[in-house]
Amino acid sequence: MNRTYEDQLRAIVNSDVFKRLTGQEHHYNTTLDRHIFSVAYACRKICSVLKSFGIHVREKELIVAAFCHDLGMADRKDNNVYHFLRNNLALRHGNRSVEYAEKILGSDLTELEKHVIIRHMFPTQLPPLCREGWILIAADKYCTVKDFFKNLNKFFR
What pTM was estimated for this model as a whole? 0.86
Return all residues near 36 (Cβ < 8 A) that are at least 6 apart.
18, 21, 66, 67, 69, 70
* C-alpha torsion sign, points 18, 16, 133, 92: positive
pLDDT in tens, the chain (157 residues): 688 999 999 999 999 999 988 877 666 677 889 999 999 999 999 999 999 999 999 999 999 999 999 998 877 765 554 445 555 666 678 889 999 999 999 999 999 999 999 999 888 888 999 999 999 999 999 998 888 777 666 555 5
pLDDT at 27: 60
Domain ranges of the chain: 5-149
pLDDT at 19: 92
| Structure confidence at residue 152 (pLDDT) | 63
Predicted confidence at residue 154, as pLDDT, reads 58
Which pLDDT value is given to residue 69? 94
**For 141, phi and psi rounded to 5 degrees?**
-65, -40
Long-range contacts, stretch 37-44, CB < 8 angstroms, 24+ apart:
38/143, 38/146, 39/66, 39/69, 39/70, 39/136, 39/139, 39/140, 39/143, 40/66, 40/67, 40/139, 42/138, 42/139, 42/142, 42/143, 43/135, 43/136, 43/139
- Which pLDDT does position 125 carry in this prediction? 82
Supply the pLDDT for residue 82: 47
pLDDT of residue 29: 74
CATH annotation of 5-149: 1.10.3210.10
